[in-house]
Structure 1
């Protein structure tokens, strides 16, 4: 055995996230495995309503009992196993940063890339590990070879950071950035696809599509949009910040050319972790956001020339993947959709209350907007927090005016019951 390998074993690094001695196996595997065995003959939809099963998952989180967090669309808490992995690697790093970071932890990126690729259903040579969807999409948007007059079609309800990246390209390079608008919810795929198709001209090069609209949770038919775009010879950039590790899909299923997500949302990975996917035959054409020695190369790693980064955060992603796989993608999707419908179906008939999101499974999952006539979004958000300690997000943007509510797998039904009571009480007061 080499001296280095022996040393690594001595300090415990061989017990990484993907070994039999992973922290997940030490902390949660037995309990979740037992829970899984009890529901193994049930469909994901039936498991979604099994509170005994989900109580096991809930116990893996360390969320504050002092507030009810219904803003998991922004950033989600990590389960305890992910937190402990980050702490473990952070302590190790500080015992000798330049050695443990570059000589030891840096070697963990390739196994992590492989596991992320497996979860995403793609080739590991198409996966980039970065910090969030904004960084990933800015890499693609600012890295595409576009010239003055080239047109890009997006939507006014895309995420602001990504719209701003396209606007910067318009200011800097003279491209034409066209934005559609929709009055969501829209429960007709053909209507959405047609809106994008009708905006295409001979100068159009790119369609930018958001898989799940962050403001109100509308799910867009990305595959249908991609197929249509490719028939016109266009490329598709997809923002999957609110879909990855929540909806049960594989990235290639979407048919897009570029995809980005934030892993600290529904994967519950460490805060400040993200992923980019670029179809392998497109890698060489994208300039890295941060300069690399081979900017036109075909190696996906050219996009990871970040320099010093948080290795503990990066390695903590592995334990989040373990946690995700233990639950199962489809079970998670159905549970979170059930939680959204659980509260929304109770408030939808309360006088003055309006739901701003479709409750059909094809068009929404976790995120749902709610408003009360006569009460602005910011006032409603303030009342919910000050009077009930319920944390939500006020949305007052374009044609969307509501409070955004997003549960996660750790959310308990009594918390949603309190939210339903709060909405009813607030609606009855004015």
Structure 2
């Protein structure tokens, strides 16, 4: 076969992978048949009943190369690995792009963004005209934080347990414009919604304009009552920004039902989309008032696409999100949520009974899902993380922020029960030493 024929053959094959939402999707080609057979065996069982079904989840685990990693990955709250099908999609989109970037990026892959936007909106339970696709939760949320008009003396209420990039963005507005940034501190875990809501209510003054909330506290996994706080805030005429980096693709909810005005998330956490993908949601009637982070021709437009004016970026990564959605939707959000909560409970309920071991996260299903903090008396979090990795090949992350000092453990659907048995055994051995 000559060079010209090779090129035509490659382009023809690559073209089959353009539609992640078509019958030619990689997911359909690789997984659909086996997964459909797997699904038929368990038709009618509830997500909670399915949570402990190891036969079902072993099929899902095979879809991740990380399931056979030489180290046990228990920091999925940082960045989750993508399924193999998503990796392959990104690789093939990248190969196609490099046949002629200016053509394949702008004329082919860029045309797939609207289908992707609609699919993300369907998962989020909102209008596609409220969804912007970007690179991570920081970019999404900083777009809103920097894009809202505030004047000197206006107040924003947040928490010392919010994500650092968000706190730093607000502090920069303090330095540049003289706004007032008030931060609450909570002694987690808390299993009382009203206690949390009341603390935000007490912080509100006549100068307060915005409440910034984190849906799932990334330090220890506390699920916050964001809907109740948002309703209270709206009663006071305030706007609400929600950081959903650790909730979207994990918890079963629709974005508008949280009753916030702005929502940002990373898609490379529990949705398992390609690394470096994110999403911004803005309530339709709020879009025009938010200035874009990167310049746009009409910065006061009510078109959500003004927030996507990033210039050249990774189109293969962006389009790979589609295959991650296929993978996620084939499992189902609620089923995924219950499985990952089951995995967290599996290890944490055993670990809490080990002498000298403390769990820093509620085990009430209303207040936690994937993430949980653990510590061993007399051992600094950084040391515990190091020992888990060096001696047991278990990757976690240490947390030392304000009043939270622990090691964060966050499994995913590809995590095996044997991996968690190893974690519990490691904690027991370390606590005895």
TM-score class normalised by the smaller sequence:
over 0.9
Say if 2:319 is the partner of 1:315: yes
Aligned counterpart, 2:432: 428
Corresponding position: 1:167 with 2:145: no
Question: Does the 8 A contact of 1:8 with 1:14 survive in 2?
Answer: no
User: 2-side partners of 1:411 and 1:145: how far apart?
Assistant: 44
Distance 1:266 1:371 in 2: 24
Among 26, 31, 49, the alignment partner of 1:28 is: 31
CA distance in 2 between partners of 1:70 and 1:229 (Å): 36
Q: Distance in 2 between matches of 1:113 and 1:155?
A: 31
1:133–1:261 CA contact under 8 A, matched in 2: yes
| Distance of 1:181 and 1:292 partners within structure 2 | 37
Offset, 1:411: 0.1
Q: Distance in 2 between matches of 1:183 and 1:408?
A: 26
Cα distance in 2 for partners of 1:253, 1:336 equals: 22
Cα deviation for residue 8 of structure 1 reads 11
Of 386, 392, 416, 1:388 maps to: 392
CA offset digits 1:34-53 (Å, max 9, x no partner): 11111111110010000000
Whole-Å separation in 1 of the counterparts to 2:234 and 2:275 = 35
1:299 equivalenced with 2:300 (yes/no):
no
CA distance in 2, matches of 1:335, 1:318: 23
Query: TM-score w.r.t. structure 1 length?
Result: 0.97
| Residue in structure 2 matched with residue 13 of structure 1 by the alignment | 15
- Contact 2:156–2:210, Cα closer than 8 Å, also in 1: yes
After alignment, is 242-251 or 30-39 more displaced? 30-39
Asked if the contact 1:157/1:215 (under 8 Å) is kept, the reply is yes
- 2:273·2:320 contact (CA, 8 Å) conserved in 1? yes
Q: Which residue of the partner structure matches residue 199 of structure 1?
A: 203
Residue 257 (1) aligns with residue 261 (2): yes
Structure 2: gaps spanning 5 or more residues: 1-7
Do structure 1's residue 239 and structure 2's residue 243 form an aligned pair? yes
Instruction: Indicate yes or no: 2:51 matched with 1:39.
Output: no
Q: Report what 1:3 is aligned to.
A: none
Q: What CA RMSD, in Å, does the superposition of the two structures yield over aligned residues?
A: 1.2
Distance 1:213 1:60 in 2: 28
Q: CA deviation at 1:11?
A: 5.0
| SS of residue paired to 1:205 | strand
Is the contact between residue 216 and residue 247 of structure 2 (CA under 8 Å) also seen in structure 1?
Answer: yes
Match of 2:272 in 1: 268
Query: Which deviations, in whole Å up to 9, do the C-alpha atoms of 1:225-274 show, x marking residues without a partner?
Result: 11000000000000000000100001011000000000000000000000
Give the unaligned 5+ runs of structure 1: 1-5
Change (3 A) 1:194 1:83: same
Number of aligned residue pairs: give it.
424
2:124 maps to which residue?
120
Cα drift, residue 31 of structure 1: 1.5
* Pairing 1:356–2:360 present: yes
Q: For residue 261 of structure 1, give the secondary structure of its aligned residue in structure 2.
A: strand
Task: Say which SS state the counterpart of residue 350 (structure 1) adopts.
Answer: coil
Structure 2 residue matching 1:403: 3-state secondary structure: strand
Residue 404 of structure 1: how far off its partner (Å): 0.2
Question: C-alpha separation between the residues in 1 aligned to 2:282 and 2:11?
Answer: 35
TM-score by length of 2: 0.97
CA distance in 2 between counterparts of 1:32 and 1:328 reads 12
The 3-state SS of whatever aligns with 1:186 is coil
Quote the residue 2:5 is aligned against.
Answer: none
